[in-house]
Amino acid sequence: MTAQTENILEVDNLTVYFGEFAAVKNASFSVRRGETFGIVGESGSGKSTILKAISGLADIAGGRITMGGKELNGARPKASYQDVQLVFQDPYSSLHPRHTIDRALSEPAKIHRLSDVESRVSGLLNDVGLGSMFRYRYPNQLSGGQRQRIAIARSLVLEPSLILLDEPTSALDVSVQAEILNLLKRLKKTRGLSYILVSHDISVISHMCDRIAVMNNGEIVDQVTVEQLRNLEFSSEYSRQLVRSSIEYEQAITGSRETLVSNEYG
């Protein structure tokens, strides 16, 4: 059913309002099949709102979102939700505390009336590196990293082509973050997925993404490749500042420590 376009998703002049407040203003970008597209920005810049608009959780006030040649707008057929799934930031609040893992994973399959729910669930648990012994546990019996693996497994139940990742590792320790990022990379390769990754952590973004949009105050101020990001090739001063501060942090640990704190803001 997909027209063989290179782009899996196109966002054209998207505007989202919350009451009077324009959370996203005229944002345009496209995501190519098989790539990871990153969105960085500070809190309140509108990056999560874009994901909400794509997944149908926020109303689109202006512009269009097209996926596989079809426009996604207010009223969507059930099947359109099958193609794009969302993974949230906080693994502690995104799983129902009184539902077993089995129930959390089979629910989407049941809603969409898919067959062989059994084998899907056990296959997915293996795929995210947990194994079937986790199947009848409750979320409170799992660590944060394990929960995030479940949330990722749940997003895969319907075999979507695009997964929206909203700060998927911000609540996790660095060692667990590394495991989850590796898992996401592996799943993308084996299942031919495309991702949109939203994060405030520029190192994570640069590790995962092919192309990146920088947002500030609801607007996309820069769109660059990961190489351009590393080389600070931006058109806006805002993006350059944002990325430079991350690089300076890293240099502190990798040796050439400079008095970053005092020289810029002293």
Partner 1 sequence: MNSPLVKVDGLTVGFPKKGGVINVVRNISFSIGREKVGIVGESGSGKTMTGRALLGLIRPPGVVTARELRFGDIDLQNASEKVRRSLRGNRIGMIMQDPKFSLNPVMRIGHQLAEIYIVHRNASRAAARIKALEMLEKVKIRDPERVFDAYPHQISGGMGQRVMIAMMLAPKPDFLIADEPTSALDMTVQLEVLSLIDQLVQERQMGLMFISHDLNQVAAFCDRVIVMYAGQIVETCKATELGNAKHSYTQGLLAAMPRLTKPTDTLPTFERQESWKMEPGRYDCTN
Burial of 184 by CB count in 10 Å (0-12 exposed, 13-18 middle, 19+ buried)? buried
Q: Which is nearer to partner 1, 13 or 259 (CB)?
A: 259
Residue 249 contacts partner 1 per CB under 8 A: yes
Would you tell me the crossing angle of helices 174-191 and 144-156 to the nearest 10 degrees? Answer: 20
* Interactions with partner 1, residue window 208-237 (CB under 8 A): 208, 226, 229-230
d(CA 224, CA 74): 30
Site string for partner 1, 90-129 (x = CB under 8 A): ----------------------------------------
Residue 241 contacts partner 1 per CB under 8 A: yes
Contact 60, 42 (CB under 8 A): no
Q: Where are the alpha helices (DSSP H) in the chain?
A: 47-55, 78-82, 101-111, 117-127, 144-156, 174-191, 202-208, 226-230, 237-254, 260-265
3-class SS of residue 198: strand
Residue 190 contacts partner 1 per CB under 8 A: no
Q: How far is the CB of 46 from partner 1 (least distance, A)?
A: 14
Instruction: Specify the stretch interacting with partner 1 by CB under 8 A; choose among 28-36, 60-68, 149-157, 255-263.
Output: 255-263
Contact 39, 49 (CB under 8 A): no
CB atoms within 10 A of CB 49: 23
User: Considering just the CA atoms, what is the radius of gyration of the chain in Å?
Assistant: 19
* Among residues 103, 135, 137, 207, the one that binds partner 1 under rule CB under 8 A: 207
Would you tell me the crossing angle of helices 117-127 and 101-111 to the nearest 10 degrees? Answer: 130
Residue 175 contacts partner 1 per CB under 8 A: yes
* Among residues 42, 59, 71, 159, the one that binds partner 1 under rule CB under 8 A: 42
Q: How far is the CB of 249 from partner 1 (least distance, A)?
A: 4
Q: Which is nearer to partner 1, 64 or 185 (CB)?
A: 185
* Among residues 13, 93, 182, 235, the one that binds partner 1 under rule CB under 8 A: 182
Instruction: Specify the stretch interacting with partner 1 by CB under 8 A; choose among 46-54, 70-78, 111-119, 248-256.
Output: 248-256
Strand bridging mode 219-225 / 211-216: antiparallel
Give residues in contact with partner 1 (CB under 8 A): 42-43, 144, 173-175, 177-179, 181-182, 185, 200, 202-204, 206-208, 226, 229-230, 241-243, 245-255, 257, 260-262, 264-266
